[in-house]
Amino acid sequence: MPLLTDHDEALLAARAEDIRALLITMLATAGSGHTAGPLGMADIFAALYFKILNHNPGEPLWSERDRLILSNGHITPVRYAAMALAGYFPTSEALTLRSFGSRLQGHPERERLPGLETTSGPLGSGLSQAAGQAYAARMDRKKFRVFCIMSDGEQQAGNIWEAALFAGRNRLRNLTAIIDRNNIQINGMTEDVMPLEPLRDKYEAFGWHTLEINGHNMEEIVDACDSARAVYEKPTVIIAHTIPGKGVPDIEFDFRWHGKPPSKAEAEKFLKQVRTGGAAVPGEYA
């Protein structure tokens, strides 16, 4: 039996569309923040929050929850949007992003918003924290899984490879890392700034089980996370090929949209592009 029925897949696609629409509105309201990365990861966050994670929005600190650690904290708008839509907090609060007194800081702070798991932003240390949580959980024979989302640019940080060595050596099979392989970073394309390839071979050499997927294909996302459960000897890294700015054709692949928000006018245009209706769920929007 497939993990996803057509109906499931359409539902998740609709969720991803909602996430994109909400985060565009959030960024335009905030007037600052990153756009391309969050849009590119909307499908993966929809799959995580609405299919893969074992979690409870009503009890964000439930001790048996799966842990989702966001290492590249700058794409946090996509996480906030997914959390709001999953019911962690009202969507009206999502619009307080980056404003004074908001629980939705420009970069995520664990103490302010239950469910964030870690405080992040400075790149390169999320995988270490995920590995620490996974190791500690295994000591206590906990069943939950630890997921860590990273950017590709941060694979240039030495701390990542210290963590990769540690997780590989300790066979942290309850740890699944997902790399947003969108090929852009602030100064341009990753392979021009400081090449990462062959990225998959590097993780293999560090003792990881590796998978490569299309980060916009729901079935591949869900399958990859599920198959990682069946790997008993190694941590798993999923290299998810994504399109920065995905969902808004005007800005797809454009690294200049890495670190800026849309203006109000641009946001209106982007929202129309996001709402293609292609994701309409049979029987729901008919």
Q: Exposed, middle or buried: residue 31 (CB in 10 Å: 0-12, 13-18, 19+)?
A: middle
129 vs 73: CA distance, rounded Å: 13
Asked whether 12 and 218 are in contact (CB, 8 A), the reply is yes
Binding segment (CB under 8 A) for other proteins, from list 105-113, 222-230, 247-255, 273-281: 105-113
Closest to other proteins by CB, 86 or 134: 134
128 vs 256: CA distance, rounded Å: 29
Going from the C-alpha of 114 to that of each of 43, 82, 164, the distances in angstroms are 23, 14, 27
Closest to other proteins by CB, 120 or 185: 120
Peptide bond into 198 cis (omega under 30): yes
Asked whether 245 and 254 are in contact (CB, 8 A), the reply is yes
Among 76, 129, 183, 185, binds other proteins (CB under 8 A): 129
User: To the nearest whole angstrom, how small is the minimum distance from the Cβ of residue 99 to other proteins?
Assistant: 19
Among 159, 214, 217, 273, binds other proteins (CB under 8 A): 159
User: To the nearest whole angstrom, how small is the minimum distance from the Cβ of residue 122 to other proteins?
Assistant: 5
Among 118, 174, 176, 236, binds other proteins (CB under 8 A): 118
158 belongs to the binding site for other proteins (CB under 8 A): yes
Asked whether 12 and 50 are in contact (CB, 8 A), the reply is yes
Q: Exposed, middle or buried: residue 222 (CB in 10 Å: 0-12, 13-18, 19+)?
A: buried
Among 57, 93, 103, 135, binds other proteins (CB under 8 A): 135
Binding segment (CB under 8 A) for other proteins, from list 15-23, 126-134, 191-199, 254-262: 126-134
Closest to other proteins by CB, 61 or 286: 61
User: To the nearest whole angstrom, how small is the minimum distance from the Cβ of residue 145 to other proteins?
Assistant: 13
Binding site for other proteins (CB under 8 A): 109-111, 117-122, 124-126, 128-137, 139, 158-159, 162-163, 165-166
